[in-house]
Amino acid sequence: MKLGSLTVKNKFLLAPMDMYADSAFRKLCHDYNCGYSCTELIATAGFIRKNESFRRKVDLHVKGGLQFVTNSTSELKESIRIVNEKEFYAGLGNVNCIDINLGCPSLKMMNQNMGSALLNQPKLVRSLFKVMKKHSSLSVSAKIRLAINSKHKKQSKPYLKIAQIAKEEGIDFIIVHGRTAGQMYSGEVDVEAIKELSEKVDIPLVGNGNIIDEESCNNFEFCDAVMIGREALKRPFIFSLLQGKKFDDEKEKKKCVKQYLKYAKELDTGFQHIKIHTQAFLRGIEGSKEIIRALTHTKTLEDIKECLKQL
């Protein structure tokens, strides 16, 4: 199927979660028929410095999108040039879409005037979109939240303004997380606001927020695709579940642990990623609480494997 100019395998996409969307995890989700995935956010300032310590964060072993977070048109232009010319970073040939993060709700990011902080700066957002469209040889997308807070959402409806700008500037598709930045990951997802966007702005639309099963996925039936985040951390097989396959949750979680560790070794995944994914997979498995606690104190991959012997 198509999202603008980007071809994706199906409508069930993986969210670009910070600290979680490493290549090993993305590869595991693709094993379960995930339609498309994107890297965790990559700061353009670090990307263009091209130092050795940044290579590992720019984890491009799996085909998909590359998400930038920035408030600088010049940095974004240079970052896109590096991608186009496949300069310095291994795996840039796997990138098929450039995404810009306009939805990160962390105070650290917003205090730097990035992520969701840009939702009330439409002129800057338009400038960033213009750079993406003009300079990228790939498809381009944007991931947003509804607003900075509930007052901002009610008074200004920035999700409609940003989506309209995206349409006018030729952005291929837009991904909308149905919460404000102030909500972080709690509270209700405002599906009606995303539906309003779909009715008022004619742009390919991906709905995101609290999709955990078929019922919650059906709430977004008016969208072209859906994006799944935190539920995939616990059950990477959610993508296959939503496409009709059946699993024994506990058995499949154990398989996920083994397969993820295999991919993590192959792809030289960072230790912190390995630890947090392993803990997430184990949640819900009978007798796993002690193992999860023990994993908190691990410092090496061998420590993790020793803990898992108790499974």
Do 201 and 264 belong together in one domain?
Answer: no
Residue 186 sits in a domain whose CATH number is 3.20.20.70
Q: Is the domain of 286 the same as that of 161?
A: no
CB-based burial label for 18 (10 Å; 0-12, 13-18, 19+): middle
Say yes or no: 145 and 196 in one domain.
Answer: yes
Contact 19, 4 (CB under 8 A): no
Same domain, 162 and 58: yes
Q: Residue 216: pLDDT above 80?
A: yes
Q: Which residue has the higher pLDDT, 306 or 145?
A: 145
Q: Say if CB 213 and CB 247 are below 8 A apart.
A: no
The bridge status of strand 205-208 relative to strand 173-177 is: parallel
Tell me the Cα Rg of the chain. Answer: 19
pLDDT (tens digit, 9 = 90+) per residue, 22-57?
A: 999 999 999 999 999 999 999 999 999 999 878 877
Q: Which residue, among 59, 61, 83, 62, has the nearest Cα to 9 in the 3D structure?
A: 62
Tell me, yes or no, whether 176 and 33 share the same domain.
Answer: yes
Kind plus residue range of the DSSP H or E element containing 41: none
Domain end, chosen from 241, 264, 297, is at 241
Asked whether residue 217 falls in the same domain as residue 277, the answer is no
Q: What is the pLDDT of residue 288?
A: 87
- pLDDT at position 1: 95
- The verdict on 283 and 138 lying in the same domain is no
pLDDT above 70 coverage of the chain, percent = 100
Phi, psi (deg, nearest 5) at residue 64: 160, -160
DSSP state of 242: T
Predicted confidence band at 207 (pLDDT cuts at 50, 70, 90)?
very high
Question: Which of 241, 266, 293 is the last residue in one of the domains?
Answer: 241
Q: Is the dihedral of CA 179, 115, 200, 2 positive or negative?
A: negative
Which of 186, 192, 230 lies closest to 211 in space, CA to CA? 230
Q: What is the pLDDT of residue 52?
A: 86
**To which H or E segment does residue 119 belong?**
none
Distances (CA, A) of 137 to 59, 140, 243: 20, 9, 32
What average pLDDT is seen over the chain? 95
Left (φ > 0), alpha (ψ -120 to 50) or beta: where does 243 sit? Answer: alpha
Place of tokens 């130092």: 51
DSSP 239: H
Domain boundary (206, 222, 241) is at: 241
DSSP 20: T
Question: Token pair 């059946």 is at which residue?
Answer: 246
Q: What is the pLDDT of residue 46?
A: 96
Helix, strand or coil, per DSSP, at residue 19: coil
pLDDT of residue 10: 98
Structurally, how many domains does the chain consist of? 2
Q: Is the pLDDT of residue 248 over 80?
A: yes
From first CA to last CA, the distance across the chain in angstroms is 40
d(CA 297, CA 14): 29
169-193 pLDDT, tens per residue? 999 999 999 999 999 999 999 999 9
Q: Are 177 and 188 contacting, i.e. CB atoms less than 8 angstroms apart? A: no
Tell me: pLDDT of 196 over 90: yes
Containing structural domain, residue 209: 2-241
What's the pLDDT score for residue 54? 84
Give the Å distances, CA to CA, from 130 to 5, 33, 148, 272: 17, 33, 23, 36
Task: Write down the pLDDT at residue 183.
Answer: 96
Whether 56 and 168 map to the same domain: the answer is: yes
Q: Are 196 and 263 members of one domain?
A: no
Q: Are residues 232 and 266 in the same domain?
A: no
Helices vs strands, H then E, count in the chain: 16, 10
**DSSP secondary structure code for residue 180 in this structure:** -
Q: Are residues 237 and 254 in the same domain?
A: no
Q: Name the percent of the chain lying above pLDDT 90.
A: 87
- Does pLDDT of 111 surpass 80? yes
| 104/190 same-domain check | yes
Tell me what pLDDT residue 287 has.
Answer: 82
Which residues, 6+ apart, have CB-to-CB distance to 200 below 8 Å? Answer: 160, 164
pLDDT, tens digit (0-9, with 9 covering 90-100), for 253-310: 999 999 999 999 999 898 999 999 999 999 988 888 888 998 998 998 888 988 888 7
pLDDT greater than 80 at residue 161: yes
pLDDT at 59: 85
Task: Determine the pLDDT at residue 311.
Answer: 76
Query: How large is the average pLDDT for residues 125-131?
Result: 98
- Tokens standing for residue 253: 């979680």
Q: List the one residue out of 184, 179, 73 whose CA is nearest residue 121.
A: 73
